[in-house]
Structure 1
């Protein structure tokens, strides 16, 4: 009855890719395989991977993960890992529904009753900081994350450096002493710029500094972590335990795997266990949809070293649809005193509005990230 009979994908606004797996017994599992700006490519990858799933037992999750991730001679990368992630989430959703229990119960049971959430507040432009933060406080959140800057020169000017400090100072003024601001360098900084700016931010006590260098320069992370007392976070563009290992060895304090990019629930649980060995906390990247968020929370409720959860309710990327538009009961994903309460429903713990998803897929989307350039016309990191 748990034999897989159908795998479907849905490209839904604003920029998400949902996966639906159905069993012979009529159990339906949902997952999210979104890869921002490349979801159409991931859709093709999901269709290829479905060849190894159709006719198989949905409950053999670990074996499916192994075959999907390693069954081809060429492995890894965001496209394959995102496809595996969405399918893996859907398989865990099926397992929870089959046993009539939340996924976190299958992962060993809950270690906490609620998970703190933070919201994204921009920060590219100084004028938007205070107003954006206040809007997040008004919905009950106690932590926010902001970009440190917009486009950054390879060797930053005095004005650029001072602009970063002014933005973070403005955030601290609004938040006071009992709420937190994380500062995202977003891979826009060279190592030299990051090392110059980090000490200047220490008086404002950032919650963490995120992605100070691009992921292909993980070998430079140790130089940065040694230059600041502020906790350092990275990982949204790392896709496996093996890719996280050098970052952990470099002294990061917060690991940020994305449940829709880093192999789904199966792999992120293993990343969390590896991070625990290095006294590193988990704060998964999730500016995505309701399924990615629910998958994160299921892992979080069963993971001891889970710090906080990013979420995208109300984020500026969500044009044309919102996180809660595709769920039938919005209650489980509502904020309670800046937290998500433990999800109690079976599987991922949310019920997808299938009609809304199918209708949205007819519209589809072709979301792309912006391409930035420096003043001389050369490529700039976004």
Structure 2
């Protein structure tokens, strides 16, 4: 078996682009991965093309050997788009290898620990504030709408949800995300009493709608500095959140925050590889390690999870992409013993399902691990090409 062709495809998904890597072998096996060039990874497709060109004619099955070689070749510029490019290639090669053997990808790593994965409804309310017309869902314009959304989460069987900072105190609903330079805020990313009150009311509305037993997660992203994270986490403690998600590139600062607050801290979605996670684990900086399997590749993600396990830390995948990425994250979640919960976007562009021949099965707030070979979710190439587009 040899790699005959490597191709990238891109589809218009409303406010973002879905990107896919297709690896075809000389005996007709097709392996897929999904990656994201959005949110700070501009140019990733060009990096994938440059790195992958040398693999045409190569046997795709020794995946560990190939990824080790690619990491060695990019050693002087680690992380970032190089790591994401290698991850996209790795994930597609794992799909090829598993399909060639007629097994699921997780079987390559000892088989699943679990077949049914609890989910939390991610970006709950966020897309209904920012893109309701593209999602085809009712807009969220008030705290009463937040309560109604909480009731919808409960009615659809989800036991947990995660929201971003949504404000309803200035007239129109607004997403507060200065850490990503959105909304016109400056680089100082400070917190004030008005903001803590707004978030307190937001979580109170979700709690009223979703119920006392619902798991509430708050994603603070990169939106504050150390002092601001402490103030915000303390302001919402009475809502008993499952975790506060914080992104920081300073492990000692995150460890300091964790010591100052009662709410568990989840972090890591922007970290690369075992070397990226090690100082955070060694500093005792997180209660849950968030691992992006699309950015790191499944094989590397499993190594991160094994390292976290040695520090008595559970892991959860960072997953806000399309259905194939959900399947990739599901194989990670199924294979590790120290799994916490899996992220999924319920709201998305209205036509998301068109891009996949067999979207994952979700019932009662749980994802059922696909049963087909490889990832178990196949890309509808014709539909992707019909909506071809890149941003």
Bucket of the pairwise TM-score, normalised by the shorter protein: 0.7 to 0.9
Over 3 Å counting, the alpha-carbon distance change for 1:56 and 1:22 in structure 2 is: same
- List gaps (5 residues or longer) in structure 2: 130-140, 167-175, 179-187
CA distance in 2, matches of 1:3, 1:270: 27
Instruction: Identify the range of structure 1 (84-93 vs 123-132) with the bigger mean alpha-carbon deviation.
Output: 123-132
Over 3 Å counting, the alpha-carbon distance change for 1:13 and 1:261 in structure 2 is: same
Aligned length: 354
Task: State the superposition RMSD in angstroms.
Answer: 1.9
TM-score, normalisation: structure 1: 0.87
Q: Offset of 1:48 from its aligned partner?
A: 0.8
Out of 358, 363, 370, the position equivalent to 1:329 is 358
Query: Are the aligned partners of 2:2 and 2:26 in contact in 1 as well (CA < 8 Å)?
Result: yes
Over 3 Å counting, the alpha-carbon distance change for 1:272 and 1:329 in structure 2 is: same
CA distance in 1, matches of 2:55, 2:154: 44
Name the structure 1 match of 2:337.
304
Name the structure 1 match of 2:125.
122
Name the structure 2 match of 1:370.
none
TM-score, normalisation: structure 2: 0.86
Over 3 Å counting, the alpha-carbon distance change for 1:219 and 1:308 in structure 2 is: same
Query: Are the aligned partners of 2:316 and 2:341 in contact in 1 as well (CA < 8 Å)?
Result: yes
Out of 269, 275, 278, the position equivalent to 2:311 is 278
Q: Offset of 1:200 from its aligned partner?
A: 2.5
Name the structure 1 match of 2:298.
265
Query: Are the aligned partners of 2:120 and 2:162 in contact in 1 as well (CA < 8 Å)?
Result: yes
Out of 198, 215, 218, the position equivalent to 1:163 is 198
Instruction: Identify the range of structure 1 (3-12 vs 132-141) with the bigger mean alpha-carbon deviation.
Output: 132-141
Query: Are the aligned partners of 1:241 and 1:271 in contact in 2 as well (CA < 8 Å)?
Result: yes
Is the partner of 1:340 in helix, strand or coil? Answer: strand
Q: Offset of 1:194 from its aligned partner?
A: 1.1
Over 3 Å counting, the alpha-carbon distance change for 1:249 and 1:122 in structure 2 is: farther
Q: Offset of 1:126 from its aligned partner?
A: 5.8
Name the structure 1 match of 2:110.
108
Out of 160, 168, 178, the position equivalent to 1:143 is 160
Out of 69, 85, 89, the position equivalent to 1:67 is 69
Summarize deviations over 1:194-252 as a string: whole Å, max 9, x none: 111212322211111101xx432333111101011221101111111111112222321
CA distance in 2, matches of 1:249, 1:290: 34
Q: Offset of 1:40 from its aligned partner?
A: 5.3
Q: Offset of 1:39 from its aligned partner?
A: 5.5
Over 3 Å counting, the alpha-carbon distance change for 1:126 and 1:158 in structure 2 is: farther
Q: Offset of 1:313 from its aligned partner?
A: 3.2
Out of 289, 314, 322, the position equivalent to 1:289 is 322
CA distance in 1, matches of 2:362, 2:268: 25
Q: Offset of 1:130 from its aligned partner?
A: 2.1
Q: Offset of 1:255 from its aligned partner?
A: 1.0
